[in-house]
């Protein structure tokens, strides 16, 4: 077949696409845990979005505003139950983590932060 190009009909192309979708659906899980610890959708209408954000959006009944984010109360990024999620502004979220980091700092014997 070297030097010759194959011509596929539209019906043939549709059959190839349909078979590929069926094969992928049988092996796909639909979610993936990223290196950051967050769980992300890999299929469907929310593909590429994190589970905790979609869960909060469904809970409040709207998309999140640009200045809003979702905080995991227990710190476990893969625990996406609604009881573990808190909707916060980005400023409040940064402030919360700054306070957590400050309270967890330790001093050495000379009184300097380690």
Per residue in 84-111, pLDDT (tens digit) is 999 999 999 999 988 888 777 777 888 7
pLDDT above 90 for 51: yes
pLDDT band of 1, cuts 50, 70, 90: low
Residues 56-70: pLDDT tens digits?
999 999 999 999 999
Neighbours of 87 (CB within 10 A): 16
What is the structure's pLDDT at 22? 85
CA 74, CA 112: separation in Å to the nearest integer?
Answer: 29
Quick one: pLDDT band at residue 112, thresholds 50, 70, 90? confident
DSSP string, 40-100: EE-SSTTTTSBHHHHHHHHHHTSPPPTTEEEEETTS-TT---GGGEEEEEHHHHHHHHHHH
Q: Considering the chain, what percentage of its residues have pLDDT values greater than 90? A: 61
Contact 55, 80 (CB under 8 A): yes
Calpha distance 96→91 (Å, rounded): 9
**Predicted TM-score (pTM) of this structure:** 0.69
| pLDDT tens, residue by residue, 14-42 | 999 999 888 877 777 788 999 999 999 98
Report d(CA 87, CA 107) in Å as an integer.
33
């Amino acid at each position: 077949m070297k030097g010759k190009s194959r011509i596929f009909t539209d019906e043939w192309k549709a059959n190839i696409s349909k078979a590929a979708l069926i094969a992928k659906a049988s092996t796909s899980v639909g979610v993936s845990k990223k290196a950051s610890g967050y769980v992300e959708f890999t299929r469907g209408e929310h593909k590429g979005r994190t589970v905790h954000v979609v869960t909060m959006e469904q809970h409040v009944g709207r998309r999140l505003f640009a200045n809003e984010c979702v905080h995991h109360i227990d710190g476990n990024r893969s625990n996406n139950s609604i009881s573990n999620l808190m909707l916060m502004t980005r400023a409040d979220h940064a402030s919360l983590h700054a306070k957590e980091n400050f309270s967890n700092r330790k001093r050495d014997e000379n009184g300097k932060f380690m």
